[in-house]
A and B are shown apart, each in its own frame.
Chain A
Amino acid sequence: MHELGIATNIIETIASQAGRFGGGRPRRVGLRIGDLSGVDRDALDFCFQALVSDSELAPLELEIERVPHRRRCEPCGREFEVDVNRFDASCPVCRNLHTDSVTGYELEIAYVEVEDQ
């Protein structure tokens, strides 16, 4: 349960980037969260809204894009998605275990949508 700290980081980042918004008010923050980031999306949204609601940033929405965990098989080159609820890192085609992570660790602020002046 470190989502409160993550939410605080996001808000601090937005504040520090305010100069890039051309004076417009930020209305929506776009996040990319990987299935292996260890972050619970609902908990993060809850913490974020709790922090924002009493601040001068309100109203500010969080839009979360989920990034699935994808791996690539070294021998056959196939890229595949891993269901982290039924985790199996082996290649679904050739069953080889030599697979490398491609995506799924993301915890990134992708964009901020700013109100037109």
Chain B
Amino acid sequence: MKRVPVQQMVLKENDRIAMELRRLFARRGLLALNLISSPGSGKTSLLEQTLQRLPGDIRASVLTGDIATDNDAMRLARFGSARQITTGGSCHLDAKMVESALAEVTAGQLDILFIENVGNLVCPAGFDLGEDAKVVVLSVTEGDDKPLKYPNIFVRSEVMILNKIDLLPHVPFDIDTVYANAQKIHPGIEMIRTSCTTGEGIDHWLAWLRRRLERVRSRPVAS
């Protein structure tokens, strides 16, 4: 037997397309965010709130991924530009799916592209979509030990949205514990508390978006 070195990333093709997307987003001065959470934690609700309350000088669009249905795009289209990606069974979005769906949502002037991944805390973590940052959404009904149970996504996310905080009086969820657990996995990860029902905390999220957008705009663009 002889050993032939290969040294090739298994997801090379995905990574190649993701890098192309990243360059495209950078050229356009666009902030691209990959939103990841388990099903039902409130990604779509957060985006509804975001599209409604985003200041007029920030133009945003959403690519929303689901295994089946275009329910989320229909929900979001009431508030802004949204396009559904139906994965037909796949548990995550990949860069190729984003590339194929992109033309429709980025046609006009755009500042922020939200990519709402398939509801799943596991698989989407491993697939680069060319985003500037991953945003993990966790709701208080899911339990404060989730960062420890799903370290892959928390270690890769720049910010953690703690959603459904209006339900805190009704569930055994401790904010200090979830924060400490998240810091163990990813020292320095930001936490923003929100409720899409009461609107609490959405201002902090919008402020984070503006700061993050400014960071994207101030970075030098490679030719």
- A residues whose Cβ falls under 8 Å from a Cβ of B: 1-2, 5-6, 9-10, 13, 17, 20-21, 24, 27-28, 30-31, 36-39, 84, 87-90, 97-99, 101, 107-116
By CB atoms of chain B within 10 A, which of A27, A38, A113 has the most?
A: A38
Q: List 30 A-B contacts (CB under 8 A).
A: A1-B123, A2-B90, A2-B92, A6-B11, A9-B10, A9-B11, A9-B13, A13-B6, A17-B6, A17-B8, A21-B4, A27-B1, A28-B1, A36-B151, A38-B126, A84-B151, A87-B184, A89-B185, A90-B184, A90-B187, A97-B187, A107-B126, A108-B7, A108-B10, A109-B7, A110-B6, A113-B1, A113-B3, A114-B2, A114-B3
Q: Is the interface of A mostly helix, strand, loop or mixed?
A: mixed
Q: Does B63 contact A (CB under 8 A)?
A: no
In the assembled complex, B56 has its CB within 8 A of some CB on chain A: no
- Interface 1/0 per residue, B188-218 and A, CB below 8 Å: 1000000000000000000000000000000
Q: Flag whether B5 is at the interface (Cβ < 8 A).
A: yes
Supposing A21-B4, A89-B184, A97-B188 touch, asked if A10 and B123 sit within 8 A by C-beta, the answer is no
B103 touches A (CB below 8 Å)? no
Main secondary structure on chain B at its contact with chain A? Answer: mixed
Residue with the highest number of chain A CB atoms closer than 10 Å, among B3, B151, B188: B151
- CB of A89 within 8 A of CB of B186, answer yes
Check: B125 CB closer than 8 A to any chain A CB: yes
State in angstroms the CA–CA spacing of A111 and B3 once bound together: 6
Number of A-B contacts (CB under 8 A): 94
Cβ–Cβ contact B187 & A99, under 8 A: yes
**B contacts with A, residue count (CB < 8 A):** 30
Bound state CA distance, A28 and B4, in angstroms?
10
Residues of B within 8 A of A (CB): 1-13, 90-92, 122-123, 125-126, 148, 151-152, 155, 183-188
Smallest Cβ distance from B126 to chain A, in angstroms?
4
Q: Which residues of chain A are within 8 angstroms of B7 by Cβ–Cβ distance?
A: 108-111
A34 CB to nearest chain B CB (Å): 10
Smallest Cβ-Cβ distance to B12: which chain A residue? A13
What residue of chain B has the Cβ atom nearest to residue A84's Cβ? B151
Q: Which of B2, B125, B148, B186 contacts A113 (CB 8 A)?
A: B2
Are B155 and A36 in contact, CB atoms less than 8 angstroms apart?
Answer: yes
Q: How far is A112 from B3 in the complex, measured between Cα atoms in Å?
A: 6
**Contact indicator B187/A10 (Cβ below 8 Å):** no
- Of chain B, the residue at the smallest CB distance from A33 is B10
